[in-house]
Amino acid sequence: MDLDNLISDLQQRLPLRRFEHVLRVTETARALAAMHGVPADKAETAALFHDIAKSMSADGLQRLLTDRGTGPELFKFNKELWHAPAGALIAEEEYGITDRDILNAIRFHTTGRAAMSDLEMVVYVADMIEPGREFPGVEELRRHAEGPLSGVMEACIVHSVQHLVSKRVPVHPDSIECYNYFVQ
Amino acid sequence: MDLDNLISDLQQRLPLRRFEHVLRVTETARALAAMHGVPADKAETAALFHDIAKSMSADGLQRLLTDRGTGPELFKFNKELWHAPAGALIAEEEYGITDRDILNAIRFHTTGRAAMSDLEMVVYVADMIEPGREFPGVEELRRHAEGPLSGVMEACIVHSVQHLVSKRVPVHPDSIECYNYFVQ
């Protein structure tokens, strides 16, 4: 995988602010990977791809996902969730990524899921705490990132689910399974 | 179904405080049923039964449920959830209740679920707002109970899920599906 080409493509596909976010997530993912013994190239690849479908229209996302067998359940949830599995499809089909762990790290970077791999946690956490993120509680999550990977992942999913329900937003089953996995 | 006999049995099976709670839930359920066109006898029967398994030991509950085909998933969740399906089994097997709606109202009175029947909502809500309940927000739920049944049910499940995640307690899939059903 030629990452320079991918970076050029991302610059075309994404608005500047989103592109810069992707670069910051990639840097953060590399740092977390180094801390936790995750291969840096896998973390970098997954992080670069994670938002590749973020600028697609709702219609385009729904068509792509439905074509590839996604059931109707997902579309009852916020459109914010659709770009993650779509990004995994694009990485696989347009860029020939075959590493299942990388594809899953892209696919589950928004919802999380139960029993995530280290690479999946690295990308999920990096997306949430990259230095451009500003939300109440992000500093505490960054402090958690100095400890074990599962500890910061737990803090991130608990924060996410608490935020969603405080706003009465639907919670995807994968997210509640991820939350239950950690708090159980 | 001879409800007087059931009430005597409940008095034997339950500590006084729990028994009195059951009577208050039954009164509240009758009032909600009358407001919303739900048959009073069904509401009364389901409400009387709802906590019939509440004093069973964790071992006893797990044995009963496992014997009747409940999978291991439930037992990863708080023991507080186990008495509801166990109560439905007792109502069916020991008391000969066959009305599926009554059995479901007992079974789902703690978790809720998506697409609840009116009777299910009546029992869930009555359990949460009966006059002996004292928790922050219960007065607002009681005010909701003056409006549509689905409105107070939504307020109750949102309150429950918010309370659970604020305490980092696992949330049963039926509860999150109930929550998603209303907020979606």
| Chain A contact residues (CB < 8 Å to B) | 76-77, 158, 161-162, 165-166, 168-171, 173, 176-177, 179-180, 183-184
CB A10 within 8 A of CB A22: yes
Name all domains of chain A by residue range, CATH numbers in brackets: 3-183 (1.10.3210.10)
Tell me which chain A residue has its CA closest to the CA of residue B180.
Answer: A170
**What integer pLDDT is reported at residue B61 of this predicted model?**
98
User: What own/partner pairs with CB < 8 Å and gap ≥ 24 does A11-19 have?
Assistant: A13/A52, A13/A55, A14/A51, A14/A52, A14/A54, A14/A55, A15/A55, A18/A51, A18/A54, A18/A55
User: Percentage of chain B with pLDDT > 90?
Assistant: 99
Candidates B157, B165, B183, B184, partner chain A, best to mutate (most A CBs within 10 A): B165
Cα separation, B125 vs B106, in Å, equals: 12
| Tens of pLDDT, residues A109-168 | 999 999 999 999 999 999 999 999 999 999 999 999 999 999 999 999 999 999 999 999
Q: Which residues from B are below 8 Å from A173, CB to CB?
A: 173, 176-177
**What integer pLDDT is reported at residue A72 of this predicted model?**
95
**What integer pLDDT is reported at residue A63 of this predicted model?**
97
| Tens of pLDDT, residues A11-63 | 999 999 999 999 999 999 999 999 999 999 999 999 999 999 999 999 999 99
Mean pLDDT (whole number) for B136-146: 97
Closest-CA distance of chain A to residue B100, Å: 27
Is residue B1 scored above 80 in pLDDT?
no
State the complex-level ipTM.
0.92
- How many helices (H) and strands (E) would you count in chain A? 10, 0
In this prediction the pTM is 0.94
**What integer pLDDT is reported at residue A1 of this predicted model?**
77
Does residue B27 sit in helix, strand or coil? helix
Confidence of residue B17 (pLDDT cuts 50, 70, 90): very high
